[in-house]
């Protein structure tokens, strides 16, 4: 048996659209539109969009990796 006490659960702090926009280097309205369209990992709490920085970072990494794939014809994308 494991005699150690359970580890307390901690949540990553959520950031608002302004901070998410700073991280993504876009306007906060763009972040809100992308969240509403389901293009960014986000959640709406009441009337406010909230984001996890780690999820935004992972989203950026995926987008960068996708942009490195060649086009269907094998031609590099400019």
Domain assignment present for residue 24? The answer is: yes
Domain assignment present for residue 48? The answer is: yes
What's the CATH number where 61 sits?
Answer: 1.10.10
Mean pLDDT of 70-78: 58
Domain assignment present for residue 78? The answer is: no
Domain assignment present for residue 62? The answer is: yes
User: For 1-60, what is each residue's pLDDT tens digit?
Assistant: 566 777 777 889 999 999 999 999 999 999 999 999 999 999 999 999 999 999 999 999
Domain count, the chain: 1
Q: How many CB atoms lie within 10 A of CB 40?
A: 21
Q: List the domain range (segments joined by +) for residue 23.
A: 14-67
Domain assignment present for residue 9? The answer is: no
CA atoms within 13 A on the CB side of 73: 3
Domain assignment present for residue 74? The answer is: no
Q: How many CB atoms lie within 10 A of CB 56?
A: 19
The pLDDT, as a whole number, for residue 11 is 87
Cα(32)–Cα(24) distance, integer angstroms: 12
The pLDDT, as a whole number, for residue 47 is 94
Domain assignment present for residue 7? The answer is: no
3 or 65, which is more confident: 65
């Amino acid at each position: 048996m494991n005699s150690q006490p359970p580890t307390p659960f901690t949540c990553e702090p959520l950031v608002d659209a302004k901070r998410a926009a700073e991280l993504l280097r876009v306007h906060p309205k763009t972040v809100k539109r992308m969240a509403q369209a389901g293009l960014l990992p986000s959640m709406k709490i009441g009337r406010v969009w909230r984001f996890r920085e780690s999820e935004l970072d992972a989203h950026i990494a995926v987008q960068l990796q996708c942009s490195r794939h060649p086009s269907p014809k094998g031609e590099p994308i400019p």
